Amino acid sequence: MSATPVSIAEKVEKQHTVARSSNLRKYLPMYLSIAPFFIIYLCFGIAPVIFSLYLAFQRWDGIGQMNFIGFNNFAFALTDPIFGQAILNTFEIWIISTIPMLVLALLLAFLLNMRKRSKFAYQVAYLLPNITSTVAIALIFGSFFGDQYGLINQMLGTMHLNTIGWLTDAWPMRWAVAMITIWRWTGYNALIYMAGLQSIPSDFYEAARIDGANTWRTFYHITLPLLRPVILFTVISSTLGGMTLFTEPQILFGNNGGVGNSGLTMSLYQYWQAFASFHYGFGAAVGWIMFFILVIFTFVNWKIVQSTER
């Protein structure tokens, strides 16, 4: 007698069960070896993000009972003039730091790529500011920017020039943060550009030299077009970093952004509200607003990448 459809289905299911069990025993050691990373990431990465979204709709001081207040935290943040000033300060610092930083990094990478020897020493020197402690860098630059005994103002005084209120006046405060950012990240971006330059075939440069092109025309017509994807990457990464500046203004100006909140950034405002004023629900809401701002910037950069590829 031929087997019934039910018995055939049972045999197929049994074979699948045996195969799954065999695969599980085969790959179980591999799953166990990578499990700690995913468990730690779930506990300290995913879970805090989900909790912060829940916390954004609560009023909580970190000790007492949570009170659900809906979108009040978001509404207050979007109408708070201090937070608006923090957003404006962040954008201004980002603009005055990113453009000079990327231009200088591209120039350094181009000049270094022309050297035939001793490149490694320069690469190490370029990377050192990036791997140095941000707190240490901010403290050192804070001594440079001191209003009375700062090194820069001392030099200006010896030349009988007016001193600058780096830590008290609005625009000098933003330039102080921008200069720290430029000094710290120029070398890092220069190394990225250096890697991009080394990926450009040398045949293009040899053909340009044969045609009589000088260094500037070679740079403008060959280097820049072929380096465009790398430039867009550094613009995106610099944008994300510039929108989340925290350590530099916090060390230089304190939690409230200094005189007139002129050095207050979005990340510093969030820290001020959540961990200095103990408004954890409001701080979580500010964090999610910052997230959406970064998403918008990422989307804009992605559209720019698409348009340049077309």
What confidence tens digit (pLDDT) does each residue in 17-46 have?
Answer: 666 667 677 777 887 888 889 899 999 989
Average model confidence (pLDDT) for the chain? 85
Q: Per this entry, what is the length of the chain?
A: 310
The pLDDT of residue 200 is 82
Q: Comparing 118 with 32, which gets the higher pLDDT? A: 32
Mark residue 118 as left, alpha or beta (left: phi above 0; alpha: psi -120 to 50; beta: remaining).
left
**In sequence order, what are the residues at sequence separation of 6 or more whose Cβ sits closer than 8 angstroms to the Cβ of residue 25?**
none
Q: Comparing 115 with 98, which gets the higher pLDDT? A: 98
Average pLDDT estimate for 114-130? 79
Q: Which of 5-9, 133-137, 211-215 is most confident?
A: 133-137
Average pLDDT estimate for 84-94? 93
How far apart are alpha carbons 177 and 167 in whole angstroms?
A: 10
How far apart are alpha carbons 305 and 230 in whole angstroms?
A: 11
pLDDT tens-digit map of 172-203: 999 999 999 999 999 999 999 988 888 888 78
pTM of the model: 0.82
Average pLDDT estimate for 223-245? 86
pLDDT for 5 beyond 60 = no
Model confidence at 90, pLDDT cuts 50, 70, 90, reads very high
Average pLDDT estimate for 277-306? 86
Do residues 82 and 282 lie in contact, with contact meaning Cβ atoms separated by under 8 Å? no
Instruction: For the chain, list the domains and their CATH numbers.
Output: 5-55 (no CATH), 73-309 (1.10.3720.10)
The proportion of the chain whose per-residue pLDDT surpasses 70, expressed as a percent, equals 90
Closest CA to 104 of 175, 186, 181, 176: 186
